[in-house]
C-alpha cells in the first residue's frame, strides 16, 4: 500500500472480527517494528504478543475496562527498558519512550498496510500489566494495541486536527 494511503486511512479501531492473523502477516508487522531506528541504535524494546484469552481479558481490565481490546485475536504490549542517556537531559530514563514510540508507530502503520486494525492504547495501569505478563522491574509498559481485522468496512472519518498554521512556525517558536 502507498505510504500516504497508509497514514491517511489509519484509524483507531474499536471492534474486531475473531478471525486469526496469518503467521506471515504477523511477522511482517513485527518486522516493521524491529527495523525501526532508535537513539544510538539501542533498540530498548520488547513486544509481547498476547494470544491467550484469559490474559487478553485481564489486560483489557488493566486498561481500565476497555474490554474491546480483548476482542481482537492478538494484543501487543510494547515494553521499554529504562535507559539513562546523559544527553537526553530532561527526559532522564524516559528517553526510551521516544525509541519505543518510533518502533510502535512502524508496527501500527504496517498493520494498516496489511489491512489489520489497531488502537494505540495509552491508558493502562503499568503496574497491573507488568504483573499480568511478568514484566521485570526495570522495564515499563509504553503502549498496547489490539491487533485484528476490523469488524466494520467503513473506518469513519478521522478525528479533527489542528491546522498547519497552528502547529508550524518558521525560524522561531
Interacting residues with a copy of itself between 24 and 43 (CB under 8 A)? 27-28, 30-37, 39, 41, 43
Task: Confirm or reject binding of residue 113 to a copy of itself (CB under 8 A).
Answer: yes
**Nearest approach, Cβ of residue 67 and a copy of itself (Å):** 16
Rounded to an integer, what distance in angstroms lies between the CA atom of residue 82 and that of residue 45? 10
How many positions of this chain bind a copy of itself (CB under 8 A)? 79
Rounded to an integer, what distance in angstroms lies between the CA atom of residue 140 and that of residue 46? 10
Task: Confirm or reject binding of residue 6 to a copy of itself (CB under 8 A).
Answer: yes
Is the Cβ–Cβ distance between 80 and 130 less than 8 Å?
A: no
Task: Confirm or reject binding of residue 8 to a copy of itself (CB under 8 A).
Answer: yes
3-class secondary structure, 37 = coil
Task: Confirm or reject binding of residue 170 to a copy of itself (CB under 8 A).
Answer: yes
Is the Cβ–Cβ distance between 71 and 16 less than 8 Å?
A: yes
Task: Confirm or reject binding of residue 110 to a copy of itself (CB under 8 A).
Answer: yes
Among the listed ranges 13-21, 145-153, 154-162, the one in contact with a copy of itself (CB under 8 A) is 154-162
Angstrom distances, CA of residue 126 to CA of 58, 75, 84, 107: 13, 15, 20, 21
Amino acid at each position: 500500500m502507498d505510504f500516504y494511503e497508509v497514514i491517511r486511512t489509519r484509524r483507531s479501531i474499536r471492534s474486531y472480527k475473531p478471525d486469526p492473523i496469518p503467521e506471515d502477516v504477523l511477522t511482517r508487522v513485527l518486522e516493521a517494528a524491529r527495523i525501526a531506528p532508535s537513539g544510538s541504535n539501542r533498540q530498548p524494546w520488547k513486544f509481547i504478543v498476547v494470544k491467550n484469552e484469559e490474559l487478553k481479558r485481564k489486560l483489557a481490565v488493566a486498561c481500565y475496562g476497555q474490554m474491546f481490546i480483548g476482542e481482537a485475536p492478538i494484543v501487543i504490549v510494547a515494553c521499554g527498558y529504562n535507559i539513562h542517556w546523559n544527553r537526553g537531559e530532561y527526559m532522564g530514563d524516559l528517553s526510551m519512550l521516544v525509541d519505543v514510540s518510533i518502533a510502535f508507530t512502524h508496527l501500527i502503520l504496517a498493520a494498516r498496510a496489511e489491512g489489520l486494525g489497531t488502537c494505540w492504547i495509552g491508558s493502562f495501569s503499568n503496574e497491573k500489566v507488568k504483573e499480568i505478563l511478568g514484566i521485570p522491574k526495570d522495564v515499563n509498559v509504553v503502549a498496547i494495541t489490539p491487533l485484528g481485522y476490523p469488524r466494520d468496512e467503513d473506518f469513519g472519518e478521522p478525528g479533527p486536527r489542528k491546522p498547519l498554521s497552528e502547529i508550524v512556525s518558521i525560524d522561531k517558536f
